Amino acid sequence: MSPMKVQERQCRSILSPSGIPGADYSLNPYIGCAHNCAYCYARYMQRYSGHSEPWGSFVDAKVNAPQILVRQLRRTPSNASIFMSSVTDPYQPAERRFSITHRIIEILSSLPYPLGIHTKSALVERDISLLRRFRDVSVTFTIVTGDERAASLLEPGASPVAERIRVLSELARAGIGTSVFIGPIIPYITETGIQDLLGRIASAGVRHIMLDDLHYLPRLQDRLFPALRAYNTGITERYRAIPKDYYQQIARIVLEFCRSHTIECRILF
């Protein structure tokens, strides 16, 4: 693994029109992501980053993003929804140093814009007092497995799963909407202990779960398979013939659980 390269960058724009359902604009305070997830769909962004380093080994902090946001919001409808973030994690380790996400949330907290946050970091807990000021805000955590060893190999820079679930509970207690994104389903990993994971998620007060499949597997094999083999040397052999209804089987388990626990469930495949 290459050493992490972290540097400052000036941006000219911070709000981008979003194609994500329910979000008018996406906001990415950083370029790159130190979580270095083996299944990351955003690795294609490396070619636009100006970096020759592999995705997951560099982070650029958009240090002027709060000032640019203030300028852009003057031309943004007050009911426009904002999603943070689509191709980076707004609470990755660099946020402890730069506090860009914190300053952005401070700005938005006194304005009417609905805000959705997506992360794998327990650092979002730091901003609970700010998030409580919003009229419309939600925090989604990605959790693809309840197995801490598997998570540490698949998401080496992200917070431990237990920490994510603990913070989900704190957010729910603070009256902040929470969701869990089980996506992508990692075949033969996500299914292990899934009932226990779902129980822990429900106990944390989560009332929304989203589920997605690993439809972009061919683009990820060179990154994903080494992490899977480190977990279980023979597991990737099973990927040669994943049953056609495999993801539907997992979806049925999650749907059944959600129905019995009054949790809204969205299947995205």
Q: What is the pLDDT of residue 2?
A: 61
3-state per-residue secondary structure call for 223-251: HHHHHHHHHCCCHHHHHHHCCCCHHHHHH
pLDDT tens readout for residues 58-71: 999 999 999 999 99
Indicate left, alpha or beta for 205 from its phi (over 0: left) and psi (-120 to 50: alpha). Answer: left
Share of the chain above pLDDT 70, in %: 99
Where along the chain do its domains lie?
A: 1-123, 136-269
Query: Would you tell me how many other CB atoms lie within 10 Å of the CB of residue 205?
Result: 14
Q: How confident is the model at residue 231 (pLDDT cuts 50, 70, 90)?
A: very high
Strands of 112-183, DSSP E? 115-119, 137-142, 177-182
pLDDT tens readout for residues 118-141: 999 999 999 999 999 999 999 999
**Taking the alpha carbons of 53, 59, 63, 67 in that order, is the dihedral positive or negative?**
positive
Quick one: CATH architecture of 136-269? Alpha-Beta Horseshoe (3.80)
Predicted TM-score (pTM) of this structure: 0.95
Q: What is the pLDDT of residue 1?
A: 54
Q: Which residues are CB-contacts of 219 (< 8 A; sequence separation ≥ 6)? A: 43, 44
Which H or E run contains 163? helix 161-173
Extract the tokens encoding 258: 């959600």
CA distance 236 to 256: 28
pLDDT tens readout for residues 158-209: 999 999 999 999 999 999 999 999 999 999 999 999 999 999 999 999 999 9
User: Which residue matches tokens 């509970």?
Assistant: 169
How far CA 134 is from CA of 67, 107, 129, 145, in Å, comes to 20, 11, 10, 30
Q: How confident is the model at residue 220 (pLDDT cuts 50, 70, 90)?
A: confident
Share of the chain above pLDDT 90, in %: 89
Is residue 119 within 8 A of residue 105, CB to CB? The reply is no
- pLDDT over 70 (residue 21): yes
Alpha carbon 61 to chain centroid, angstroms: 18
